[in-house]
Amino acid sequence: MQEHGFPGLSSHRARHDIFRKKIATLIEDFRASKPGVPVSLLLFLQTWLKDHLLKTDKLYSAYLNARGVR
């Protein structure tokens, strides 16, 4: 993204930072034996990955494709 000057790079990085923080929180909750963590993790991953791959990453791939990058 940086190499090709993707204008949404900072936003994309921020989304990944939020992802890492959420996962870290879920790990802490799991280690603290809080109930419902596995279900929360699965729901979070399902939603985040679907949204990220099908929407956010598509913006990047469209940007690269428009510039002839393969």
State pLDDT tens for residues 10-63: 999 999 999 999 999 999 999 999 999 999 999 999 999 999 989 888 888 888
Does the model's pTM come out above 0.85? no
Q: Which two tokens mark 64?
A: 């690269």
Residue 59 has a pLDDT of 85
Contact 19, 56 (CB under 8 A): no
Positive or negative: CA dihedral 5, 8, 11, 12: negative
Q: Which pLDDT belongs to residue 69?
A: 85
Rounded mean pLDDT, 59-70: 87
Q: What is the DSSP letter of 52?
A: I
- Give the torsion sign (CA, 43, 63, 11, 13): positive
Q: Give which of 49, 52, 62 is closest to 4, Cα–Cα.
A: 62
pLDDT at residue number 21: 97
